[in-house]
Amino acid sequence: MNRLNEYRIMWVMVLFDLPTETATERKIYARFRKNIMRDGFTMFQFSIYLRHCSSRENADVHIKRVKSLLPEKGHIGIMCVTDKQFGMMEIFYGKKLKEKETPMQQLELF
């Protein structure tokens, strides 16, 4: 089986809603966001971050890392989808469908 295919490659999504009413809560929010970005997640939408992973095993490593960063309060969801599923997503800006971008090949160094 091909090591890099659209069913083996995974996307990890972290969806969160953290309290930001006090200065302390805003600091916790910023720390969580900064830490997941340090782990390679990028913003997809406000409070939705994505990370490309070459395999389910690699995704599990990053999911475990996010779980270790969870704050005491707030709602956090972690979802894993295949590259095939992710590629079927339709993205709109208002009513206008965004053109699909040609996916880049992930380079792996060993």
Cβ burial, residue 66 (10 Å; 0-12/13-18/19+) = buried
pTM of the model: 0.82
| Beta carbons within 8 Å of 11's beta carbon, 6+ residues apart | 50, 51, 52, 53, 80, 81, 82, 83, 86
Domains of the chain: 10-96 (3.30.70.240)
Whether 84 and 7 have beta carbons less than 8 Å apart is answered as yes
pLDDT at 62: 97
* pLDDT tens-digit readout, 68-105: 999 999 999 999 999 999 989 998 988 888 876 655 55
C-alpha to C-alpha distance for 98 and 88, rounded to whole angstroms: 13
